[in-house]
Structure formats: structure tokens, C-alpha cells
Amino acid sequence: MLIKKSADILPSEITPRRVYEGRREFVRQLGRIALLAGAQALPFAAAHAQSGQKIPGLKKSAFSTTEKQTPYKDITTYNNYYEFGTDKADPAQTAGKLKTRPWTVSVEGAVAKPRTYGIDDLMKLGAMEERVYRLRCVEGWSMVIPWAGFSLSDLIKEVQPTGNAKFVEFVTLADPAQMPGVRQQILHWPYVEGLRMDEAMNPLTLLTFGLYGEVLPNQSGAPVRVVVPWKYGFKSGKSLVKIRFTEQMPKTAWSLANASEYGFYSNVNPKVDHPRWSQATERRIGEGGIFAQKRATLMFNGYGDQVAQMYAGMDLRRNF
């Protein structure tokens, strides 16, 4: 009897255990393996939900990696976005109904200047630039994406956090009329993520409005999301409607769903395995699917020089 190790299998979802272990989900995983091997699951046009608008005046950022960028098609047709479905192909197929104009983001909590921003005003708050970041997901795949945005710290300085602000909580839109996944109790809605204040203030933490020089397509988190490149992808909340400054650590969506597998910090750490698979290696999307050569996963996703000092003295196995 041949027994495969979890490190040799490309898991398809960040899923609750009850979904992952179900027979129906197993069948769906086989279909996704075929997709990664080269099958076309949907027309490329479906990936262009409300995208295509150029972002003017983008400057290249010194924070960018020089690695080969993942093709736009792969970035926008292979997504984790449970509000639009648990299958990787679901968001590109179902996110077209999301209306991203008008859109507001409320900034509240322990700040001296709370405010509700219209999306266009929010986009003008900082110096927009293109940053090519690695994105590493907990399931074992990665991408290299040219994001467009500015450091979240620009917004934080504008609203002036008080001394009680220890954490920043990000709240995603949860609208069952536009988001079919919200009609199911897959997670605790709305989707909530959070960072410590020093993490949020780190210049790498990007308030993000676009990719490949265009506004974000719906399935990628339009019209605004956060990108935290040294953490696993699920920490980067999409379609934000609220940013709240708090004294207490936020109760995040995946921690509530399965705290033993998805901790608050979620830093990329190849030395700490997920309970169901290894995190030591990864496959790059767009480079051959499950047949792509595995590469070693980098500590902090390769951003250790910029972020490791924030965790000095912490047990990164316990604080995973």
C-alpha cells in the first residue's frame, strides 16, 4: 500500500476540517489538481470583473522583488475568497456582481481623528506606487504579484491613533446579496483580520488598490485590501469596509474557525508545519501546477531583514 506524505500533496483550500475531510470536497480537489495541470476551468474573460482601469502615476518601489512575476491570468483565476465560494475558481466566476462604486471605508476606534473615507479620497491619501511582492499561502503555493498602493502607515498617521491603540482590525464586506459564500456558515462573517500596531506601521504593509497597474479585479479584493507580504495570504483582508484600532487583540475569522491551525500571527515559517501538511516547500503558481519544481519556503517569506526584529524574543512556534 502506497502512503503519500502530506508534503507531497498540494492541498486545494484553507478549509475547516469538516469540509476538508468530506468526500464531496475530496472529489472537488481532484478536479482542481486537473486545473493546475493545465486544464482551463473558465474563460479568461471571467477574470476581468470590473477591472481594466489603469492607475495613473505609478512609481516603481524599492521594496520590490526582482523575481519573475506571476501572469495576470493565474493571479486572477486562482483565488482564496470564501465570500465568493470555497473553490479556487469560484471568485473569478461569481465576483462580477460586486459593486465597488460607491464605496466607503470607516476608520474608527482608538484614534483622534475617526473618519469615513470614500474610496477615491482614500486612494489619494498616500503616494501610490507599484510593489512586487511574494504572496505565500498556507496550502503550499505562492505567487509574485505587482501590487499598487501605499504603506498603510500613511493612513494610520492621518487618523492619529491614541495610546490605547495596540492592534488594528480589518473588517471585510459581508453582503449575501452580492456574495454567495456569505449565505453559508463557512466562517464567522464578516471576515475579520488583524495586526499588531508595529506590524501595521511597518512600511511593507500595503494598503492596496490594484495589481499589474490596474484597479483590483473583484476576485482579488476590490476596491481596497491590505497586503502583508511576510505573512500567509489569509492575513491580507479583502474588500475592506472598516479599519478599527483596538486595545485588545482582534478575534480573527480563521482563529475563530480553527485556532489550532490558524494563529493570530501567521508569519511564514517553514519550520512550523501546518497540522495537515508541511510548510517547508512551496510551488509557484503559473510554473507547471503540481508538476512544478518545489522550492524552499523562506522564513518570513524572504522579508526577514525588514520584519524579524518585531518578533525578537518571541517563541514563533507558540505564537504561530
**Average pLDDT of each block of 10 consecutive residues along the chain (320 residues)?**
38 42 40 41 39 89 96 96 97 96 98 98 96 96 98 98 98 98 96 98 98 98 98 98 98 96 96 93 89 92 98 95
pLDDT of residue 51: 57
pLDDT of residue 8: 40
Fold for the domain defined by 6-311? Sulfite Oxidase; Chain A, domain 2 (3.90.420)
In sequence order, what E strands does the chain have? 59-60, 104-109, 115-118, 129-136, 141-151, 167-172, 192-196, 206-211, 214-215, 225-227, 240-246, 281-284, 295-296
Supply 224's cell numbers. Answer: 481596497
CB atoms within 10 A of CB 292: 16
CB atoms within 10 A of CB 140: 22
Residue at 85: amino acid letter: G
Q: Report how far residue 104's alpha carbon sits from residue 128's, in angstroms, rounded to the nearest whole number.
A: 19
Q: What is the pTM of this model?
A: 0.86
